[in-house]
Amino acid sequence: MTDLTSFSAAELAGLVARGESSAVEVTQAHLDRISAVDDRVHAFLHVDTEGALDAAREVDSRRAAGEPLGPLAGVPVAVKDVLTTKGIPTTAGSKILADWRPPYDSTIVRRLRAAGTVMLGKTNMDEFAMGSSTEYSAFGPTHNPWDLSRIPGGSGGGSSAALAAYETPLSIGSDTGGSIRQPGAVTGTVGVKPTYGGTSRYGLIAFSSSLDTPGPCARTVLDAALLHEAIGGHDPLDSTSIPAPVPDVVAAARLGASGDLTGVRLGVVREFAGEGAEPGVLAAFRAAVETLTKLGAEVVEVSCPHFQYALPAYYLIAPSECSSNLARFDGVRFGLRVGDDGTRSLEEVMSATREAGFGPEVKRRVMLGTYALSSGYYDAYYGQAQKVRTLISRDFTTAFDQVDALISPTTPFVAFPVGARTADPYQMYLADLFTIPSNLYGGPGISVPCGLADGLPVGLQVMAPTMADDRMYRVAAALESAVGPFTPPAL
pLDDT in tens, 122-166: 999 999 999 999 999 999 999 999 999 999 999 999 999 999 999
**122: containing domain:** 4-271+277-303+400-483
Q: Determine, yes or no, domain membership for 68.
A: yes
What span, in angstroms and rounded, lies between the C-alpha atoms of 466 and 443?
4
Q: Determine, yes or no, domain membership for 103.
A: yes
179 a catalytic residue:
yes
Q: Which residue has the higher pLDDT, 24 or 342?
A: 24
Please identify which of the residues 22, 80, 160, 174 carries the catalytic annotation: 80
Average pLDDT of the chain to the nearest whole number: 96
pLDDT of residue 1: 46
Residue 82: CATH number of its domain: 3.90.1300.10
pLDDT of residue 245: 94
What span, in angstroms and rounded, lies between the C-alpha atoms of 378 and 384?
8
Compute the average pLDDT of residues 91-101. 96
- pLDDT band at 275, cuts 50/70/90? low
86 a catalytic residue:
no
What span, in angstroms and rounded, lies between the C-alpha atoms of 230 and 115?
6
Please identify which of the residues 21, 94, 132, 155 carries the catalytic annotation: 155
pLDDT of residue 334: 85
Q: Determine, yes or no, domain membership for 246.
A: yes
Q: What percent of the chain has pLDDT over 70?
A: 99
CA dist 123 → 269, 338, 410 (Å):
33, 26, 22
**Sheet with 44-47, side-by-side order of all strands:** 44-47, 118-123, 76-80, 170-175, 213-218, 190-193, 445-453, 456-463, 405-409, 265-269, 298-302
Of the candidates 144, 176, 136, 137, the residue with the CA atom closest to the CA atom of residue 160: 144
Q: Determine, yes or no, domain membership for 395.
A: no
Q: Determine, yes or no, domain membership for 313.
A: no
Compute the average pLDDT of residues 88-96. 98
Please identify which of the residues 106, 159, 179, 408 carries the catalytic annotation: 179
pLDDT of residue 394: 98
Q: Determine, yes or no, domain membership for 351.
A: no
Q: Determine, yes or no, domain membership for 149.
A: yes
What span, in angstroms and rounded, lies between the C-alpha atoms of 230 and 216?
10
Q: Determine, yes or no, domain membership for 333.
A: no
> Per the structure, how many domains does the chain have?
1
| Cα maximum dimension of the chain | 73
User: Euclidean distance between the first and final Cα of the chain, in Å?
Assistant: 20
What span, in angstroms and rounded, lies between the C-alpha atoms of 304 and 433?
14
Compute the average pLDDT of residues 96-118. 97
- H or E element: which one contains 462? strand 456-463
Comparing 87-96, 192-201, 273-282, 363-372, the range with the smallest average pLDDT is: 273-282
- Sign, CA dihedral 359-360-361-367, equals positive
Q: Which residue blocks in 205-345 are alpha helix, DSSP H? A: 221-231, 249-256, 279-294, 310-325
pLDDT in tens, 219-229: 999 999 999 99
80 a catalytic residue:
yes
Q: Are strands 118-123 and 44-47 parallel, antiparallel or unpaired?
A: antiparallel
pLDDT in tens, 351-398: 999 999 999 999 999 999 999 999 899 999 999 999 999 999 999 999
